[in-house]
C-alpha cells in the first residue's frame, strides 16, 4: 500500500498547455509539500500545506497553483507551460515537528517540448 | 534560515569498503533534525537515517551511521561495506523547529558510484 502516491509518473506536453499532477498520502500526515528537482538534481521547496492551508509559497510563478481539497490530497496545476518548467516534481508529506522524516512520492518527470 | 552544504559532487568507492559523505549545515534554530536520503537511478527518494540535534548518540541504521558533530555543524553519513546497490545520489537535509512551513531544506547531493 503506497504511502505517498503521485500521478502521472511521466508527463510530456507542449509549451503553452495546462497540466495537473495529483498527489495523495495515506499516512495521516498534516503537512504536504511540492518539491522541484532540476536537471542538476537540486531539490527546492515550492509549496507547503498544513491541514489544507497554504503555509509557504517559495517564489513560485503564479502559473503554478496548488490545491488541497483535504489534508490527504495536494494537487499541482500548471498553466501555460514553459520549457523551463521541465523537471521532476515530488510530492511529500510529513507529520508536524522538526524530527520526523518526510515521505516522498515517486516523482513526476515533466518534459515540456 | 537553513542551509545545507554537500561539498562532494561525486565519488567512487570500492565494493565492500566504507565511504563517508560530507554534510555541513547552518541554522539559528535551537532544535532541528538532520536527515539523509538516497535517490537511486530509478528516481525515488528513500529515507535512510535521522539525527536529532539533542541526541547524545550518533544515529545508526544497519550499514548507515551518522557522524554528528554539533559544534562543527556537520552530519556526515557513513556507509559501511558498500554494495553495488548503494550507487545513487545521496542528499543531506535538515528541518529546524522554526522552519517556515515545516519544510525540509536539502543540500546539492553527492553521487556515489560503487565499483566492483
Among A44, A55, A104, beta carbon nearest to B44: A104
- In this predicted model, what pLDDT tens digit does every residue of B16-66 receive, in sequence order? 999 999 999 999 998 999 999 999 999 999 999 999 999 999 999 999 999
**Which pLDDT value is given to residue B105?**
94
- In this predicted model, what pLDDT tens digit does every residue of B63-83 receive, in sequence order? 999 999 999 999 999 999 999
CA distance, residue B104 to nearest chain A CA (Å): 8
CB contact under 8 A, A109 and B45: no
* Pairwise CA distance, residues A31 & A46, whole Å: 13
Among A44, A90, A97, beta carbon nearest to B45: A90
Among A48, A90, A101, beta carbon nearest to B103: A48
User: Which residue from B minimizes the CA distance to A105?
Assistant: B44
Write out residues 49-108 of A within 8 Å (CB-CB) of B: 50, 55-56, 88, 90, 92, 94, 96-104, 106-107
Among B37, B43, B103, beta carbon nearest to A107: B43
Residue among A16, A18, A26, A20 at smallest CA distance from A108: A20
- In this predicted model, what pLDDT tens digit does every residue of A42-70 receive, in sequence order? 999 999 999 889 988 888 999 999 999 99
User: Which residue from A minimizes the CA distance to B50?
Assistant: A101
Best A98, A100, A102, A105 residue to mutate vs chain B (most B CBs within 10 Å): A98
- Work out the average pLDDT over A14-20: 98
CA distance, residue A56 to nearest chain B CA (Å): 6
Residue B6 has pLDDT above 90, yes or no: yes
How many interface pairs between A and B have CB atoms less than 8 angstroms apart? 72
* Averaged confidence pLDDT in chain A: 94
Reduced 3-state DSSP string for chain B: CCEEECCCCEEEEECCCCEEECCEEECCCCCEEEEEEEECCCCCCEEEEEEECCCCCCCEECCEEEEEECCCCEEEEEECCCCHHHCEEEEEEEEECCCHHHCCEECCCEEEEEEC
**Which pLDDT value is given to residue A58?**
85
With beta carbons under 8 A apart, name residues in chain B contacting A55: 100-102
Amino acid at each position: 500500500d503506497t504511502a505517498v502516491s503521485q500521478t502521472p509518473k511521466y508527463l510530456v506536453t507542449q509549451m503553452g498547455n495546462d497540466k495537473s499532477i495529483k498527489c495523495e498520502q495515506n499516512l495521516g500526515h498534516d503537512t504536504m509539500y511540492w518539491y522541484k528537482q532540476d536537471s542538476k538534481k537540486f531539490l527546492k521547496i515550492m509549496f507547503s500545506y498544513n491541514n489544507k492551508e497554504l503555509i509557504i509559497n517559495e517564489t513560485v510563478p503564479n502559473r503554478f497553483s496548488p490545491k488541497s481539497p483535504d489534508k490527504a490530497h495536494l494537487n499541482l496545476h500548471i498553466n501555460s507551460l514553459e520549457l523551463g518548467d521541465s523537471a521532476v516534481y515530488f510530492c511529500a508529506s510529513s507529520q508536524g515537528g522538526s524530527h520526523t522524516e518526510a515521505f516522498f512520492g515517486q516523482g513526476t518527470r515533466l518534459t515540456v517540448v | 534560515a537553513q542551509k545545507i552544504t554537500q561539498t562532494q559532487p561525486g565519488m567512487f568507492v570500492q565494493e565492500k569498503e566504507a565511504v563517508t559523505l560530507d554534510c555541513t549545515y547552518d541554522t539559528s534554530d535551537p532544535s532541528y533534525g538532520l536527515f539523509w536520503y538516497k535517490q537511486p537511478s530509478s528516481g525515488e527518494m528513500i529515507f535512510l537515517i535521522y539525527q536529532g540535534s539533542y541526541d547524545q548518540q550518533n544515529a545508526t541504521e544497519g550499514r548507515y551511521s551518522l557522524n554528528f558533530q554539533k559544534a562543527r555543524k556537520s552530519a556526515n553519513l557513513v556507509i559501511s561495506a558498500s554494495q553495488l546497490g548503494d550507487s545513487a545520489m545521496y542528499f543531506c537535509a535538515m528541518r529546524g523547529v522554526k522552519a517556515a512551513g515545516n519544510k525540509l531544506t536539502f543540500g546539492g547531493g553527492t553521487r556515489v558510484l560503487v565499483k566492483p
